[in-house]
Amino acid sequence: MLKGKAAIVTGSTSGIGLGIARSLAGAGADILLNGFGEPDAIEALRADLAAEFGVRVAYDGADMSDPGQVRAMVDGCAARFGSVDVIVNNAGIQHTASVEEFPTDRWDAVIAINLSAVFHGTAAAIPHMRRAGWGRIINIASAHGLVASVNKSAYVAAKHGVVGLTKVTALELSGTDITCNAICPGWVLTPLVQKQIDALAAREGIAEPEARLRLLSEKQPSGQFTTPEQLGGVALFLCSPAADNIRGVSLPVDGGWTAQ
């Protein structure tokens, strides 16, 4: 479905972003990876994806907190692959503290990476998509783009901002074949979350399955984690002709979290 098209996925060297990158590569898209990691490990990942899916895969280590680097990454993708047809704005960080105790530098970093980078990546990608006459902008927001939790002021503010930016972008592009939508995951079983589960199990002296359930039970009624592969499938659907007229939507994939 995406053969001959190029996709940028930020924060894609692990977790959700990697799951999405794999789905898009499986549909034939050339992939520009971005994210943190050891250079040798990233190169191995890049080479493995290219070999497995028979597509071109490149890596750009742009710092998502730097607007100039974000925009240069997008233009670099067009120079390398000839186009920017899909951008998945996924990169994100987290910090937890009460509003009154939230460190200013952590607030600025969360807003820069979780929200401002989405704006800069989108703004840089749209001209390339207009020239091609087609495009897909997919923003990875969060259940926290729709509801709130204590001690997550910067993350919740940023993700609510992503939902609003998604709507504005979709409306501005409504007369084109470029769509913009957001995916709002709840708890996703990534290596980072698995570390939280293992730490909870060790701290409380409980078995790993019980630690998983305890982590899920407060928020996610299904009692099941979403997987990066499932989110990759959702992103791929938003790139399909079936989603041509889905615009400005924030799609929860949260096991019923925001239905409560």
The set of catalytic residues is 155
Amino acid making up residue 216: L
Distances (CA, A) of 112 to 66, 91, 115, 143, 227: 8, 11, 6, 19, 26
